[in-house]
Amino acid sequence: MVPDISLADDLALALRAAEIADAVSLPGFQQRGFTVERKADKSEVTELDRNTELAVSNLLRSERPTYSFYGEEHGVVGPSGATLQWVVDPIDGTSNFVRGVPVWATLIALVHDGEPVLGVVSAPALGLRWWAARGLGAHHAAGPTSQPMHVSDVAELRHASASITVTESWHKVGKTTQLDVLQRGVARLRNYGDFWQHMLVAQGAVDFAIDGIGLGPYDIAAIAAIITEAGGTWSNRHGEADWRSDSLITSNGRLHSIVTNDLGGRP
């Protein structure tokens, strides 16, 4: 448990921050009038990524001045040595955002002493939101109605529904054959991509999801908190539960070792 703070209050604040993020990002997405640049790593960034992060940061830092804040676009701000840190990806799925694909979301996490304990994922163009906090359950909503969510109980690969993001990054680490075996071994395969595949795992609609290699901590922290509270398991490709990794695999828990065993060999 997390001492001396109210996760219920922090969750309510994070949900307020998600509303503010939606109010900045969704109109810009709909109006299609934003600038696009390339960052040093060649990934796309828009002015709305930055504006959304700033709006979220302003609220969270004002309401929780003793917490630090780590955003994809502006880095770490706030008190050094803070044991509590907000971790935010203002628009996860920027490439989708740029192309007009509605699969993108704001990810808001709270990390305590290095452990994600709260997560909110808000996808306004889809009209969907997911959230969880340690000991408070995991929930999802389509519009104003919300309901609890839990991972599936599928225990065999041949019965599984999977989402696998096969990118060049996996080929570079020599895992093409292993991914091919996994793809051929499941009952149903799709690539929902980015945050969405992992939220479908949390809902029990998908049994495991494999993301591309090259993620940032802000891509993982909120998802990790939600998957955990929904009863699932998450790790990097080596089977380590490290939200600062560059990869993410989520599952209902029963399938996790099956999925990670062949993918986890280094490099």
pLDDT band at 1 (very low <50, low <70, confident <90, very high): very low
The arithmetic mean of pLDDT across residues 29-52, rounded, is 84
CA distance 100 to 121: 19
Has residue 169 been placed in a domain?
yes
Q: Is the pLDDT of residue 263 over 90?
A: no
Which is higher by pLDDT, 36 or 252?
A: 252
In terms of residue numbers, what domain contains 228? 157-263
Averaged over 238-242, what is the pLDDT? 94
Do residue 68 and residue 191 come from a single domain? no
1 domain-assigned: no
Q: Is 2 inside any structural domain?
A: no
CATH code, 103: 3.30.540.10
Q: For the chain, how many structural domains are there in total?
A: 2
Residue 161 and residue 128 share a domain: no
Of residues 177 and 203, more confidence is placed in 203
Average pLDDT over residues 196-202: 98
230 burial (CB, 10 Å; 0-12 / 13-18 / 19+) is buried
Residue 131 lies in a domain: yes
Q: What is the pTM of this model?
A: 0.94
Residues 144 and 14 in one domain: yes
Burial annotation 125-140 (CB, 10 A radius, 16+ → b, else e): beebbbbbbbeeebbb
Q: Which of 154, 185, 150 is nearest to 261 (CA)?
A: 185
**CB neighbour list of residue 260: distance below 8 Å, 6 or more residues apart:** 235, 237, 238, 239, 249
Residue 236: exposure state from Cβ atoms within 10 A (0-12, 13-18, ≥19): buried
pLDDT of 40 over the 80 cut = no
Do 256 and 208 touch, CB atoms closer than 8 A? Answer: yes
Mean pLDDT on 130-151 = 95
Q: Tell me if 189 is assigned to some domain.
A: yes
Looking at residue 213, what is its pLDDT? 93
pLDDT band, residue 4 (cuts 50/70/90): low
* 120 exposure class (CB count in 10 Å sphere: 0-12, 13-18, 19+): buried
> Are residues 136 and 11 located together in one domain of the fold?
yes
Same domain, 83 and 193: no
Q: What is the CATH number of the domain that holds 179?
A: 3.40.190.80
- Whole-angstrom distance, CA of residue 260 vs CA of residue 236: 9
Q: What is the pLDDT of residues 90-123, one digit of tens each?
A: 999 999 999 999 999 999 999 999 999 999 999 9
Classify 112 in phi/psi space as left (phi over 0), alpha (psi -120 to 50) or beta: beta
Residues 13, 100: one domain? yes
Q: Are both 139 and 167 inside the same structural domain?
A: no
